[in-house]
């Protein structure tokens, strides 16, 4: 089982077409077929259901998909680690969700990288559960997650707590003195599906089922241009919007008869050489 075969399997599972897979890999279609047949023979299980009209993964293929990704990630991580040893004193692999990175890490990591040229940083942005799996597979040295997780060999500690603020552009002053919970359904609320434990569900439940939002987006920081342009209202972490509020680009709206729970994020670590100085810099920043 080699990396070329696994990459072929993953691409075919995504494209579900031998010709397109061969074209993207710059190989003959017969090469793709041979690699898949060899992999199925090695595993002793069929990975695809083939018919004249469609190609789909078998149940065994679906299960093997996650393992194939993890094997490739481990292989790549090992190669990068070995190659970096001759160029850098330390190599640190850091995982974070989008929002934690935007709120707490980006500026601090830039500062750390500039002041520690002897350390190589490998930064992965992903979802909490995927990052935890990578930490367990030892393809990450530390992860910043909204999911607290502690297991033998992994330490979990509270990293930061953030307040969610309802904000809008300064010209939207109708609720400048505050807003009631029942009034939320009457405003143009821009929705972001926060991965914040129960907080995401709490915000969604403020609106009736099937509520039509004028805008939905999957990354909170991407709401800023819409909000600053006057599009509507949204709850965002204070650490993202504080600068815009201080500069007069956004206006915080007081909540009169309800509150939003704070958001906690966690640092998950595996002890690794060179990480102490980074952790100290991140916490101090």
Q: How many angstroms separate the CA atoms of 261 and 173, rounded?
A: 25
Average pLDDT over residues 33-62: 88
pLDDT at position 284 over 80: no
The closest alpha carbon to 132, from 91, 97, 81, belongs to 97
Mean pLDDT value of segment 260-266: 88
Q: Give residue 285's pLDDT.
A: 59
Spans of all domains in the chain: 3-81, 88-161+264-284, 164-261
Q: What pLDDT sits at residue 196?
A: 57
3-state secondary structure of 256: coil
As a whole number of angstroms, the distance between CA 31 and CA 237 comes to 50
pTM of this structure: 0.64
CATH 3.40.1010.10 for domain 88-161+264-284, yes or no, is no
Helix (H) or strand (E) holding 131, with range, is helix 128-136
Q: Does 2.30.130.10 match the CATH number of domain 164-261?
A: no
DSSP-based three-state secondary structure for 274:
coil
Output the pLDDT for position 54.
81
Q: Helix, strand, coil shares of the chain as percentages rounded to 5? A: 45, 20, 30
Give the orientation angle of helix 29-43 with respect to helix 3-15, to 10 degrees: 110
Each residue's pLDDT tens digit, 78-126: 666 666 555 656 778 889 988 888 888 888 889 888 888 888 888 888 8
The reported pLDDT for the residue numbered 167 is 96
Residue-wise burial string across 1-15, b where 16 or more C-beta atoms lie within 10 A, e elsewhere: eeeebbebbebbbee
Distance CA 272, CA 247 (A): 40
Nearest to 32 by CA among 57, 59, 8: 8
Residue 76 confidence (pLDDT) above 80: no
Query: Using one digit for the tens of pLDDT, what is the confidence trace for 213-248?
Result: 999 887 788 899 999 999 999 999 898 899 999 999
User: Closest by alpha carbon to 95, among 9, 154, 161, 151?
Assistant: 154
pLDDT digits (tens, 9 = 90+) for 119-150: 888 888 888 888 888 888 778 888 998 888 87
pLDDT digits (tens, 9 = 90+) for 158-195: 988 889 999 999 999 899 999 999 999 999 999 987 65
Fold match between domain 3-81 and domain 88-161+264-284 = no
Fold category of 3-81 in CATH:
Arc Repressor Mutant, subunit A (1.10.10)
Residue 134 CA to residue 192 CA, distance in Å, equals 26
- The angle subtended at Cα 250 by Cα 248 and Cα 256, nearest 5°, is 120
Checking if the pLDDT of 283 tops 80, the result is no
**Which pLDDT value is given to residue 70?**
80
């Amino acid at each position: 089982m080699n990396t070329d075969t696994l990459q072929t399997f993953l691409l075919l599972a995504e494209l579900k077409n031998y010709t397109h897979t061969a074209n993207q890999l710059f190989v003959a279609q017969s090469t793709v077929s041979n690699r898949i047949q060899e992999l199925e023979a090695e595993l002793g299980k069929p990975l695809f259901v083939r018919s004249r009209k469609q190609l789909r993964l078998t149940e065994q293929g679906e299960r093997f998909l996650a393992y194939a990704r993890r094997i490739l990630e481990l292989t790549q991580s090992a190669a990068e680690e070995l190659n970096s040893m001759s160029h850098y004193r330390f190599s640190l692999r850091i995982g974070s969700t989008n929002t934690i990175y935007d709120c707490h890490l980006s500026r601090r990591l830039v500062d750390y990288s500039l002041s520690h040229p002897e350390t190589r940083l490998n930064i992965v942005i992903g979802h909490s559960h995927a990052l935890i799996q990578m930490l367990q597979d030892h393809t990450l040295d530390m992860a910043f997650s909204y999911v607290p997780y502690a297991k033998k060999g992994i330490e979990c500690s509270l990293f930061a707590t953030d307040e969610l603020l309802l904000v809008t552009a300064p010209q939207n002053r109708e609720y400048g003195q505050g807003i009631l919970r029942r009034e939320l359904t009457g405003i143009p609320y821009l929705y972001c599906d926060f991965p914040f434990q129960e907080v995401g569900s709490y915000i969604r439940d403020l609106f009736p089922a099937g509520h039509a939002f004028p805008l939905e987006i999957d990354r909170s920081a991407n709401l800023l241009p819409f909000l600053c342009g006057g599009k509507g209202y949204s709850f965002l972490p204070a650490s993202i919007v504080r600068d815009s509020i201080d500069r007069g680009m956004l206006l915080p709206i007081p909540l009169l008869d309800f509150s939003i729970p704070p958001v906690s994020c966690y640092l998950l670590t595996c002890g690794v050489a060179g990480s102490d100085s980074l952790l100290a810099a991140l916490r101090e920043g």
